Amino acid sequence: MSGDVIVIGGGTAGMETSGQLANAGCMVTLVEKEEQTGGHINNWYHLFPDRRNGSEVIDYLNNKINSDNITLLKGITIDHIEKHKNRFIVKTNQGKELNADAIIIATGFDLFRSERKEEYGYGIYDNVITSVDLEMKFRSGSLKMNNGESPKRIGIVHCVGSRDEKTGNLYCSKLCCVTAVKQAIEIKEYLPDSRVFCFYMDMRMGGALYEELYMESQEKYGVNFIRGKVSEVGESINHSLIIKVEDTLVGRPLKMELDMLVLMAGMEMSEGGRKIAEMSSLKTGENRFFQGRDNHFGSNLSNIDGVFYAGTCTAPMNITETISHARSAVSEVLDYLKVFRK
């Protein structure tokens, strides 16, 4: 198989598609806006459900794109896309013009900016952090508060920017529940004497081994799960956090003092993806992610022939799903090239 393909986005989906296409004989130009490929996994220490080190996935993906058929352009964004007689002309922010027979959009997701949920005080109260901040703490090997002390009572808020009409995100980000469970267990391993409280709306543990992890977090680690949404966060005179939440199973409001609060930030259409949608008339759905041509049979197909989607630019996915989606995108591209390069 021959053909020129531009892959936009050098995260999990973009790297996987690039590697697979290169193996199939295509010439691939992989464009990444950052100076480093790997996307969000770079910020993750351990992955669920088996606590694999995130660097192992990065190593796998780097190995995948180590091919003579792949040209990697880093620190580059796309300014313009046009189609002319089954060939795509793509202009970069550095004035470079790229040509290809097909394009794969793999622009991924952005984490919800937790400061938008103003009531949680992220960016204002020192010990309100996000799930990514916590991964960074795990990676540094030190789980401390800003004053250098170890937290004794830690809260985890699920669904921050997900299933939330106020922020315009009605969808479930899918990964936050299991991330919360994984991180709760890790907190207990770091600080066995600490108490961890997860505040959830529903526990959506719909992946392989997720439910088992949830049970283990309760039975082995004693993590407390409270069904209710945190309504506000404040600070006491000694700088501990005061949260208000309704325990909907007991049917009573709770006020609780915590040392640290971790916000499970949801997933949103990336800024880069949004710009590409605007410049290219690619359709987006109600959730603002790219909309595939068919929910069941065409999630890799865009409304423009020759432009394909891979990974979390279409919806929240875990790494396993992202890699599967990337591979199915490659299959669609190869079928397309067979027809158009005859």
Partner 1 sequence: MNSEGKKRIWSDYQKEIADDHFFYVRSCIRQSFFPGSEQFFLNLMRNILGKDVYENPAHTTCTGIGYHSDIVPSATIMTVIARHFALMKESGYKNIAVSCVTSFGLYTEILETWKHFPEELAKTREYLFKATGREFDIPENVAHSSDIIYKFRNEIALKAKNLLVNIKTGEPLRIVEHIGCHYAKMFPKSGLGGAEFPNVLSGMAEAWGGEVIDYPERRHCCGFGFRQYLVQANRGYSVSNTAKKFTSMKPYKPDMVLTNCPGCNMFMDKWQYTIKEMEGETYGENGDSIPILTYEELAGLVLGFSPWDLGLQYHMVQSEPLLRKLGIEFDSTDKFKTKDGRQMPVPQNLINS
- Least CB distance from residue 251 to partner 1, whole Å? 18
247 near partner 1 (CB under 8 A)? no
Interaction between residue 44 and partner 1 (CB under 8 A)? no
Which distant-in-sequence residues (6+ apart) come within 8 Å of 321 by Cβ?
A: none
Is 122 a binding residue for partner 1 by CB under 8 A? The answer is yes
Of 237 and 339, CB closest to partner 1: 237
Closest CB to partner 1 among residues 59, 118:
118
- Beta strand 128-130 with 260-265 is parallel
| Ramachandran area for residue 40 (φ above 0: left; ψ -120 to 50: alpha; else beta) | alpha
Concatenated DSSP letters of 141-192: T----TTSPPPSEEEEEEEETSSBGGGTB-S--SSHHHHHHHHHHHHHHH-T
Binding region for partner 1 (CB under 8 A) out of 45-53, 101-109, 117-125, 281-289: 117-125
Residues 6+ positions from 55 with CB-CB distance below 8 Å? none
Tell whether residue 119 is a contact of partner 1 (CB under 8 A). Answer: yes
What angle in degrees, to the nearest 10, is found between the helix axes of 12-23 and 319-340?
40
In the shown chain, the binding pattern of residues 279 to 318 toward partner 1, with x for contact by CB under 8 A and - for none, equals ----------------------------------------
Closest CA to 239 of 152, 106, 126: 126
Cα(51)–Cα(320) distance, integer angstroms: 14
Give the x-and-dash track for 124-143 against partner 1 (CB under 8 A).
xxx-----------------
Residue 147, interface with partner 1 (CB under 8 A)?
Answer: no
Helix, strand, coil percentages in the chain from 3-state DSSP, rounded to 5? 30, 30, 40
Our CB check for partner 1 shows the closer of 236 and 296 to be 236
Query: Residue 332: in which H helix or E strand, if any?
Result: helix 319-340
Which residues inside 68-87 make contact with partner 1, applying CB under 8 A? none
Min separation Cβ 236 and partner 1, Å: 6
In angstroms, the Cα distances linking 128 to 22, 202, 259, 332 are 44, 22, 9, 44
Told to check if 25 binds partner 1 by CB under 8 A, we report no
Locus of tokens 């390069």: 341
Among 59, 118, 202, 271, binds partner 1 (CB under 8 A): 118
Q: What is the dihedral of CA 293, 296, 297, 301, to 10 degrees?
A: 30
CB of 232 to partner 1, least distance (A): 6
205-244 residues in contact with partner 1 (CB under 8 A) are 232, 234-237, 242
| Residue with Cβ nearer partner 1 (33 or 137) | 137
Q: Minimum distance between the CB of residue 63 and partner 1, rounded to whole angstroms?
A: 41
Size of the site for partner 1 (CB under 8 A): 15
Minimum distance of partner 1 from residue 118's CB (angstroms) = 4
Binding status of residue 256 toward partner 1 by CB under 8 A: no
Closest to partner 1 by CB, 213 vs 262, is 262
Strand ranges across the sheet with 128-130: 128-130, 260-265, 153-160, 195-200, 224-227
Comparison of 75 and 123: residue with beta carbon closer to partner 1:
123
Q: Rule CB under 8 A: say whether 168 interacts with partner 1.
A: no
Phi, psi of 159 (to 5 degrees): 55, 45
Q: Pattern 97-116, binding to partner 1, x per CB under 8 A?
A: ------------------x-
Binding interface with partner 1 (CB under 8 A):
115, 118-119, 121-126, 232, 234-237, 242
